[in-house]
Amino acid sequence: MLKRNRDLYIWIGLSIPIIFWTTYGVLSSLRPEYSFKTKAISELGSVDAPHLWFWNVFGYILPGILISIYSYGLHREITGNRGNKWPLISFIFSGLFMSLSGVFPADMDNRQSFSSLLHSVGSFGCYIFFLIGAFTYPRQMKMNPYWKTAIKPSLIFTWLTILAGSWYVIFPSMPGVGQRIVFFFYLFWFFYTALKIYYQKTTHQTIS
């Protein structure tokens, strides 16, 4: 991959969680009644939220688009743009579905509304396609000596999102914490792989 393109993908991958969590921190701090323990993240952009489009654009739509773009660069780094395209396609769709959940804000008072249903489709689609991509990439990582070392950490992050999904069952009084853990490791997956691309560049361990 050309150096200029590689640098672009690195910065995109690193910026995804930064944009998301910075937006989250700013907007949640503006709402004293908003509790990370009990409130869903989507409530920052629900139809009655005071800054709904600020959250939906910078919390969901933009990060989702960046994930889709970054997925292409990641695929080229790991596979040399060869082999099975399922991981690439899965992460592209994960990003697009994340953006979809921002285009259609949730209505917390009417979960059956058109907007709420499409918001849910976006949320579930984002996560399902992430799991497909995260569980199919290790096979391709095994074929690249440099990326072999990323298999275990990336799978750990993926399994932690699954385990955190059951948080509300164990701690029903603070379900919001589990959702934030899921988001943290979902976004950290991209941050981590962007760091791997960066160190690959600096050590000159690239594939043709």
Cβ atoms within 10 A of the Cβ of 128, count? 14
Q: Is there a contact between 185 and 164 (Cβ–Cβ < 8 Å)?
A: yes
* Cβ-Cβ contacts under 8 Å for 47 (sequence gap 6 or more): 105, 106, 107, 108, 115
Q: Is there a contact between 86 and 136 (Cβ–Cβ < 8 Å)?
A: yes
Burial (CB < 10 A; 0-12, 13-18, 19+), residue 50, is exposed
Please report which residue ranges of 30-113 form alpha helices under DSSP H: 52-55, 62-79, 86-103
Q: What is the pLDDT of residue 145?
A: 92
Enter the pTM of the model.
0.91
* pLDDT tens readout for residues 39-82: 999 999 999 999 999 999 999 999 999 999 999 999 999 998 88
Burial (CB < 10 A; 0-12, 13-18, 19+), residue 34, is middle
CA atoms of 37 and 164, how far apart (whole Å): 14
Q: What is the mean pLDDT of residues 11-40?
A: 95
Q: What is the pLDDT of residue 207?
A: 43
* pLDDT tens readout for residues 135-185: 999 999 999 999 999 999 999 999 999 999 888 788 888 889 999 999 999
